[in-house]
Copies of this chain bind each other. A is one copy, B any other.
Amino acid sequence: MFQINENYLQLGESYLFSTIARKVDQFSAAHPGADIIRLGIGDVTLPLSPAVIEALHRSVDEMGVKESFRGYGPEQGYLFLREAIAGTDFQKRGIDIAPDEIFVSDGSKSDTGNIGDILGEGNVVAITDPVYPVYLDTTLMRIGKTNKIRLLRCSDENGFLPEIPDERVDIVYLCYPNNPTGTVMTREELKKWVMWALEQKSLILFDAAYEAFISDETIPRSIYEIDGANRCAIEFRSFSKNAGFTGLRCSYTVVPQELKGTTANGKEVSLHHLWNRRQSTKFNGTAYIVQRAAEAVYSPQGQQEMREMVGYYMHNAQLIRDGLIEKGWTLFGGENAPYIWLKCPGDMDSWTFFDRLLAECHVVGTPGVGFGSAGEGYFRLTAFNSYEKTVEAIERIKKWEY
């Protein structure tokens, strides 16, 4: 009689977005004329840029001709893309990351989820609260609800930045610019984490999916800007938000050659080697045409288009920030991230604020408590809707007497 992985039964059902959808549907049905504006979405809305579309058409044509057709590619990604990534995202910024330290994949969700495959089950894992739910859920799937999971509570007192753990932690997930809070880590702050990890021989899983939204030159865009991070950190990057690839699926993960884990006996083992084995065995590479599309993001035209796309969303973020500050609300993020994290006014809890914002402004956002209990009393708005809709939503909120 075969058995299931019972850790799955310990997972909370992910009711957040289905609850939101149900509430919005009910409200729409009761108020058919209401023009509902969604500032809750984490998905992009601008189409793929011309350089990307052109690369796709060109590579699709290659795939239709015997002489240029490509079958299985390298599981780690084509060298043309790994070189473009290493060159532009790292070496041009003075960061020493080589093409063979980059693993191209189909999404950061896959990679941040699958990275657990190569890690032992005895590790103590720390996760911030509030958090992008994938880190917690995939950890639970792997090791179950044990005393090995630590929540690093974030609050307005610590500026929604976690504090260095004062007890044993082997692995920590950090995401900066942060989803959902939109906060960033200064170089100083990030350095503290790298120092701590090197000292404790802990591993930092650093999700930098939103690095393109950083405008402040002093904020690190990669953890490898910090000396020694190549001995204690894996970094996840994505083309989803900077180049609008949410429907095209491409990301990459950096596993430096110098990064070592240990066996129970203390023997050192290369994580690069293990991740390479994992990817070669359980993955067959990202579509060739998608890798050509990602390569186009690194062309001069592609880089320009990416900046414009990010600029469009960040202009929305600015609009939201300005409007809410004018309103006197307390908020985080939105300066170097497409997320605005606000304290619900009048001491409302997250769902009360959601209900009232929907009913009275016809604006949809995401209750902070959906990202963890430390998010209670907070609310996430995103910059991914159109300029026009964002202006209209903020006008309504500005006029709102709650």
Query: Which A6-43 residues have C-beta < 8 A from chain B?
Result: 6, 8-9, 11, 14, 43
In the bound complex, CA of A281 to CA of B111 (Å)? 11
B14 touches A280 (CB 8 A): yes
- B6 and A264 contacting across the interface, CB-CB below 8 Å: yes
Contacts A141-B278, A281-B138, A286-B249 hold; do A2 and B261 have CB atoms under 8 A apart?
yes
**Bound Cα distance from A73 to B43, whole angstroms:** 10
Is A277 interfacial (CB 8 A cutoff)? yes
- By beta carbon, the residue of chain B nearest A384 is B71
Query: In the assembled complex, how far is the CB of residue A162 from the closest CB belonging to chain B, in whole angstroms?
Result: 18
Q: How far is the CB of A105 from chain B (nearest CB, A)?
A: 10
Instruction: State the CA gap A203–B117 with chains docked (Å).
Output: 23
Report copies per complex.
2
Number of residues of chain A lying within 8 A (CB) of chain B: 80
Cross-chain contact of A282 among B113, B123, B285 (Cβ < 8 A): B113
Q: How far is the CB of A391 from chain B (nearest CB, A)?
A: 17
**Residue in B1, B11, B70 whose beta carbon sits within 8 Å of that of A200 in the complex:** B1
Q: Which residues of B contact A287 (CB under 8 A)?
A: 106, 247-249, 287, 290
CB distance from A241 to the nearest CB of B (A): 10
A325 located at the interface, meaning its Cβ lies under 8 Å from any Cβ of chain B in the complex: no
A85 contacts B by Cβ under 8 Å: no
Q: Are B120 and A247 in contact (CB under 8 A)?
A: no
Output the least CB separation between A269 and chain B (Å): 5
Judge if A110 is at the interface, Cβ distance under 8 Å. yes
Chain A positions within 8 Å of B, measured between CB atoms, are: 1-6, 8-9, 11, 14, 43-48, 50, 53, 56-57, 60-61, 63-66, 69-73, 106-107, 109-110, 113-114, 117-123, 133-134, 137-138, 141, 170-171, 200-203, 244, 246-249, 261-264, 269, 271, 274, 277-278, 280-290
Can you list the 6 inter-chain pairs with the closest CB atoms, starting with the nearest?
A113-B282, A3-B120, A2-B170, A43-B71, A71-B246, A4-B261
A-B contact pairs, 11 of them (CB 8 A): A2-B203, A4-B261, A6-B263, A43-B72, A48-B64, A53-B64, A63-B247, A63-B248, A109-B282, A138-B281, A248-B289
13 other contacts beyond A6-B120, A70-B247, A72-B247, with CB at 8 A cut-off? A1-B262, A2-B262, A4-B120, A4-B274, A5-B117, A47-B64, A73-B247, A106-B106, A106-B249, A113-B281, A113-B282, A137-B281, A247-B287
